[in-house]
């Protein structure tokens, strides 16, 4: 999961895509909010909604950051929060595994505060009060959900990584005292084996390949400590660029690895099984990179 910022107007309000802000949608939304119509299991306009979400999520699942054939996910589950069916702050793209009962989130939505049970209607018009449907405003804000919202929480403050105890891929771990990170990874099952393995093969293996190539290049071109350092620094800059590229998968892990020497040594070096001297050179080069980064 990584932080996502949706477009806002000059007043700071989110710009609602027209597919969610037209006569037909509003009519159906009112009817669902008044319990005249049941919230449909799958959204009629789901393809168009996903297209709008993909402008910010780039074909990735909002929870696990895997490229996927995304489904429209209701952050607050539609079975309970039926009146949020078409609410833009409640819609995320999610992969089937993160979204579905059994493999992922399903209808789980634990909160620290008190759970809202019904919508609010405007007194004069009897229409759904949409300002009360916003995730970051009263009354929903007071629920204080455990599940992280990628557009309102900064996942970096709640989640970190470690090598899996059985050495099968990379685990995600919760680090905040309120346990929002821990609860989120359990709700969405973010340590399922394919995900752990993907993090390793896509992020860790890619970085290891870069490191090995550096030493191979140097062997061919003639070895010198300065030359190796220079080449390694370039590789680290390239990793940083990946961490900032929001179109890529697993960028939270890229970001974690490049953030500190401690993280880099914890996640990358145990997999780099070449001779101890090269490991030392890499660790020293990384420390140097961090000194010059800013």
**Which of residues 63 and 254 has its CB atom nearest to Zn ion in the complex?**
63
Is residue 95 within the footprint of Zn ion (CB under 5 A)? Answer: yes
Is residue 64 within the footprint of Zn ion (CB under 5 A)? Answer: yes
Stretch that binds Zn ion, among 62-70, 111-119, 121-129, 261-269 (CB under 5 A): 62-70
Is residue 72 within the footprint of Zn ion (CB under 5 A)? Answer: no
Stretch that binds Zn ion, among 34-42, 56-64, 134-142, 159-167 (CB under 5 A): 56-64
Site for Zn ion in 253-282 (CB under 5 A): none
3-class secondary structure, 73: strand
**Which of residues 3 and 240 has its CB atom nearest to Zn ion in the complex?**
3
Using a 10 angstrom Cβ sphere, with 0-12 exposed, 13-18 middle and 19 or more buried, the burial of residue 183 is: buried
Is residue 148 within the footprint of Zn ion (CB under 5 A)? Answer: no
**Which of residues 50 and 95 has its CB atom nearest to Zn ion in the complex?**
95
- One of 63, 236, 250, 286 touching Zn ion (CB under 5 A): 63
Is residue 172 within the footprint of Zn ion (CB under 5 A)? Answer: no
Is residue 62 within the footprint of Zn ion (CB under 5 A)? Answer: no
Is residue 61 within the footprint of Zn ion (CB under 5 A)? Answer: yes
The Cα-based distances of 244 to 8, 190, 204, 248, 258 in angstroms read 21, 21, 16, 9, 11
Stretch that binds Zn ion, among 19-27, 33-41, 90-98, 152-160 (CB under 5 A): 90-98
Least CB distance to Zn ion at residue 220 (A): 41
Cα angle at 2 between 252 and 183, to 5 degrees?
Answer: 95
**Which of residues 192 and 240 has its CB atom nearest to Zn ion in the complex?**
192
**Which of residues 96 and 227 has its CB atom nearest to Zn ion in the complex?**
96
**Which of residues 69 and 224 has its CB atom nearest to Zn ion in the complex?**
69
Cα distance between residue 56 and residue 74, in whole Å: 16
Least CB distance to Zn ion at residue 195 (A): 8
Stretch that binds Zn ion, among 61-69, 204-212, 226-234, 279-287 (CB under 5 A): 61-69
Least CB distance to Zn ion at residue 190 (A): 8
- One of 49, 70, 98, 203 touching Zn ion (CB under 5 A): 98
Indicate the angle between helix axes 225-244 and 276-292, nearest 10 degrees: 60
Least CB distance to Zn ion at residue 97 (A): 6
Cα distance between residue 3 and residue 62, in whole Å: 9
Dihedral angle computed from the Cα positions of residues 73, 78, 80 and 83, in that order, rounded to the nearest 10 degrees: 120
**Strand positions, DSSP E, 95-205:** 159-163, 170-174
Cα distance between residue 63 and residue 184, in whole Å: 9
The Cα-based distances of 134 to 89, 93, 150, 187, 267 in angstroms read 6, 18, 15, 22, 38
Cα distance between residue 98 and residue 198, in whole Å: 15
Using a 10 angstrom Cβ sphere, with 0-12 exposed, 13-18 middle and 19 or more buried, the burial of residue 98 is: buried
CB 65 within 8 A of CB 251: yes
Which residues of the chain form contacts with Zn ion (CB under 5 A)?
A: 61, 63-64, 95, 98
């Amino acid at each position: 999961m990584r932080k996502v910022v949706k477009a806002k107007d000059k007043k700071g309000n989110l710009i609602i895509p027209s597919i969610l802000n037209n006569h037909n949608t509003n009519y159906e939304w009112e009817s669902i909010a008044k319990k005249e119509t049941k919230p449909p299991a799958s959204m009629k306009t789901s393809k168009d909604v996903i297209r709008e979400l993909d402008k910010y999520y780039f074909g990735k699942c909002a929870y696990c950051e895997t490229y996927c054939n995304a489904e429209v996910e209701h952050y607050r589950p539609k079975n309970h929060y039926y009146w949020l069916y078409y609410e833009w702050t409640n819609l995320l793209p999610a992969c089937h595994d993160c979204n579905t009962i059994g493999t992922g989130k399903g209808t789980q939505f634990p909160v620290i505060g008190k759970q809202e049970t019904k919508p609010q209607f405007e007194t004069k018009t009897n229409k759904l009060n949409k300002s009360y449907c916003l995730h970051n405003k009263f009354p929903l804000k007071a629920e204080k959900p455990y599940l992280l919202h990628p557009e309102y929480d900064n996942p970096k403050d709640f989640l970190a990584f470690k090598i899996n105890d059985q050495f099968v891929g990379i685990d995600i771990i919760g680090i905040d005292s309120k346990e929002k990170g821990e609860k989120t990874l359990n709700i969405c099952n973010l340590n399922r084996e394919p995900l752990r393995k993907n993090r390793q093969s896509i992020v860790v293996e890619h970085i290891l390949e870069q490191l090995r190539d550096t030493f191979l290049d140097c062997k061919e071109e003639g070895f010198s400590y300065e030359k190796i350092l220079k080449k390694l620094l370039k590789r680290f800059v390239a990793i940083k660029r990946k961490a900032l590229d929001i179109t890529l998968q697993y960028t939270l892990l890229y970001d974690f690895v490049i953030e500190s020497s401690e993280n880099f040594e914890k996640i990358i070096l145990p997999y780099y099984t070449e001779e101890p001297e090269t490991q030392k050179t890499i660790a020293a080069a990384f420390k140097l990179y961090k000194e010059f980064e800013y």
